[in-house]
Amino acid sequence: MKLFWRCFSVLHRLFDIILHGLFRLAYAGRKEQLPPISNLLLLQSATSLAAKIRKKKLKSVDLVNVYIQRIKEVNPFLNAAVHFRFDQALNEAQKADEIVAKGAKTEEELEKEMPFLGVPISVKELIAVEGLPLSGGLVSRKDARSPFNAQTVQLMRSAGAIPLVTTNISELGMWYESYNKVYGRTSNAYDTSRTCGGSSGGEGSLLGAAGSVMGIGSDIGGSIRIPAFFNGIFGHKPSPEVVSNYGTYPPSCEREFVPYLSLGPMCRYATDLAPMLSVLAGKGAAMLHLELPVKLKELKVYYIEDFGNHVVCTKVENDMIKALYKVLHHFTNAYKVTPTKLNLPALRHAYPMWAEAIRACRAPAFSEELTERKGGKIDFRAELVKWLLGKSPFTYPAVLLGAIEGTVFDGSGKHLTRLKDLKLQLQELLGEDGILFVPPHPTVAPHHNEPLFKPFNFSYTGIFNVLGFPVTQCPLGIGNEGLPLGVQVAAAPGCDRLTLAVAVELEKVFGGWVCPSAVME
C-alpha cells in the first residue's frame, strides 16, 4: 500500500508540472505592465504619512487625491476595487485637515487619539462600510447596501482613517481566487495572467499595486495571508477573539465560529502592522501587549519545509524553500540562533483537520449561505448543468463546494483529536518565546483557474486558523518567475507581538514589498 501511494504521489507531482506548463502556454504574452508610479507619496507607510499630516507637512486632501489617481490608473488592469466613495473621502479628508489646522490638540494628542488621521484605507467587500454594497459576491445581494460600519471599520475611522474603496472577493469568501458573478475576476499586481488569491484578493492586488497603503481583510483558511503572499505584501491573521468579526457578510458572530475567523491588517509596510492591529483590536489589544519589546536573539526558532502528502498537496517549490533558508541563515548569522527543523506527521492531514474543525463549529452550511439563509435547497446537479450553459448565478467553485459539502469525512472525529494533539504539541514547543517559519503556499501565484486543479494547497495557511495561532505573512523579494516569494511566521496564541516584530526585521533585511511597476523620477 505504501508503494501505491508513493507512486501516486510521483504521478501527482508530474501532473502538477505538466499542468503548470500548459497554463503558462495558455497565458503566454497576456501579462500587462502596470502604469508607473509618478508620486513618491505612494511609497511611504501609513504611519509616516499620518505623522506628516499631524506635522502639517502634508494635507490629507492631497494624499487622498494621490490615491484616487493611482486607483484610476491601476484598476482597469486589475479589477481590484469594486466600489468607490471618492467624494465622501475627499470631504472627510478636508475635515481631517481642519482638525490639524485648528490646533486644538497637540501632535502627541492626535497621535494617541487618531493615529491614522487623514490616511486612506481600503476594505474587503464582505466587511461592512456604511452606504456601500455588502453582497459577499452573491448575485442575489448585488444591490444590498450596509446601513452601518463593521466594528473594525468604525475603529479605523475613529482612529482617523478614511475608507476610500471596497475590494473584490471570492463568492462568500470561500475560495482562494477572487472571482464572482457580481464583480468579475481580479488579477495579480505583478502579473495580470496570475491569480491575486482569495478571498481578500482585491485587497492584496490593490495594495500590491500601490493603489492603497493599508486595508482590512478577513481570514478563515488563509484569506488574508494567501493574497498577501501572492501580491508581495504583509498580512496578519490575529490570535482568535481579539478582533471583532461583527459586520461581515455572511454574518460571522456565531459563538462557535469565532475561533476560526479573524479580521486583520493587510499593508505594504511591516511598520504599519502593529499600529493597525492595535486599533482593530480595540479593547482586545490589551491582551496582546503589543507595546512590549521583543528580543530577537532570545527567540526559539523552528521551521517546516513541507507538509508532505504530495498525493493531495503540491510539493513546495525550490524557490520557496530557498527563501525560507535565507531567513533561517539570517537568524543564525545575526542573532546566533540555531533553528530547529520540525517533523510533524500530523500536518499530512492538514486539510481534513481544517475541514472537520470548520464543519464542527455548527455554523450554517455553505449551501445555506448561497440561499442567504432563507431556507430551501439548491439542486447542485441542476446548477452544474446551468453553469455549463453559462446560466448559473454561482461560480463553479461555489457549485462544487455546495455539492460535496458534508460528504467527505466519516464523522469519527479522528481528525479533531489529531488537531487537538498537534495544537498541544506546538504550544508546548513554542511557549511564549518561540516562532515557527512555514511556507505560505507550495508555489508562487498560480495562473487564473489553476487553483481549481490544486484545491488543497491552501492547507499551508488553513491549518493555523483551526490551531488558533497568530500568523504573519512576510514578502521576501521576487522569485525566478517574476512573482513574490514569502514566508509565514507563526507563534502561540496571544503572542502576536513576536510575529509582528519578526516581520519588521525581515522587511529591514530583505526589503519587504517590491514595487511591481516602474517609479518615475
Pick the closest to residue 214 from 263, 161, 151, 176 (CA basis). Answer: 161
- Give the residue among 221, 231, 308 at the shortest CA–CA distance from 266: 231
CA distance 241 to 188: 31
DSSP category for residue 374: S
Q: Which of 45, 60, 193, 199 is catalytic?
A: 199
Q: What is the largest CA-CA distance in the chain?
A: 76
164: phi then psi, degrees, rounded to nearest 5:
-110, -45
| CB 263, CB 216: distance < 8 Å | yes
Identify whether 412 is a catalytic site residue.
no
All three cell numbers of 325: 533558508
Q: Which one of the listed residues 45, 223, 252, 392 is annotated catalytic?
A: 223
Taking alpha carbons only, the member of 411, 410, 412, 397 closest to residue 366 is 397
For residues 79 and 186, the answer to whether their CB atoms sit within 8 Å is yes
CB 152 within 8 A of CB 253: no
Q: What is the DSSP string of 147-190?
A: SS--HHHHHHHHTT-EEEEEE---GGG-SSS-EETTTEE-B-SS
45 part of the active site: no
Q: Which residue has cell 503589543?
A: 290
Q: How far apart are CA 301 and CA 434, in angstroms?
A: 6
Residues in the chain: 521
Dihedral, CA of residue 444, residue 445, residue 450 and residue 456, to nearest 10: 70
> Under a CB-based contact definition with an 8 Å cutoff, are residues 455 and 314 in contact?
no
124 in active site: yes
Give the contacts of 471 (CB within 8 A, at least 6 positions apart): 225, 236, 237, 461, 464, 488, 489, 490, 491, 499
CA distances from 295 to 292, 299, 497, 499, 501 (A): 10, 7, 11, 12, 9
The one catalytic residue among 59, 124, 315, 423? 124
* Residues carrying an active site annotation: 124, 199, 223
